[in-house]
Amino acid sequence: MARYKGPVGKVSRRLGIGITEKGQRILNKRSYPPGQHGPSAKRRQISDYGLQMQEKQKAKFMYGVLERQFRNLFEQASRRSGVTGEYLLSLLERRLDNVVYRLGFATTRAQARQLVSHGHIMVDGRKTNIPSFSVKVGQVISLRPESRRRTYFKNLIDSGELNKHRAPDWLRLSANDVSGQIVALPRREDAEAGINEQLIVEFYSR
């Protein structure tokens, strides 16, 4: 499964936003752009096109989506009636790896992607190992029974951390069962903050 495996700190510093929690920690320590000039480097003023591309890159890296996947999602969103940018973010939120992350089964999207691809997650009782699988309202996301014996999941259950996790309103978490249900479509405010989706629309609409 192809995905970005490079340094998240460098990307976060280049884009000026933490693409992961680790990226944000690095950005908090070194808020200046990467490169040989270090702290003395200033962020250059960029063109409208550059701003549009930067927003696309932010969303891609935050959600762990490659260029072709991202373009396909945009094209899917553009065919829908309504606000294209908001529906694009809804599609990103509804990826199975993101749902596993939002439910608290994983601490990062990268980890969630790995749990899905290794066959630990079921959708409506069927093993689904495709991280890009788009969930629908009413579907139930659960842990494969055989996976409960794994040390990671035993610790997750026994620690009680899942009981403390607060899932977004469009998801209903059942911590005891290690499962969740999609009860509504995600709204704009449910998506990652710091992304200007209108700039992404402008980028692809050139």
CATH number at residue 31: 1.10.1050.10
End-to-end CA distance of the chain: 30
Domain limits for position 139: 95-182
Residue-wise pLDDT tens digits, 62-119: 999 999 999 999 999 999 988 999 999 999 999 999 999 999 999 999 999 999 999 9
Residues 87 and 100 reside in one and the same domain? no
1: in domain: no
In a domain, 187, yes or no: no
Q: At what angle do helices 8-15 and 21-29 cross, to 10 degrees?
A: 60
Q: Measure the CA–CA gap between 26 and 38, rounded to whole angstroms.
A: 14
Its pTM stands at: 0.82
Specify the number of domains making up the chain.
2
Summarised one tens digit per residue, pLDDT across range 106-158 is 999 999 999 999 999 999 999 999 999 999 999 999 999 999 999 999 999 99
Residues 124, 198, single domain; the answer is: no
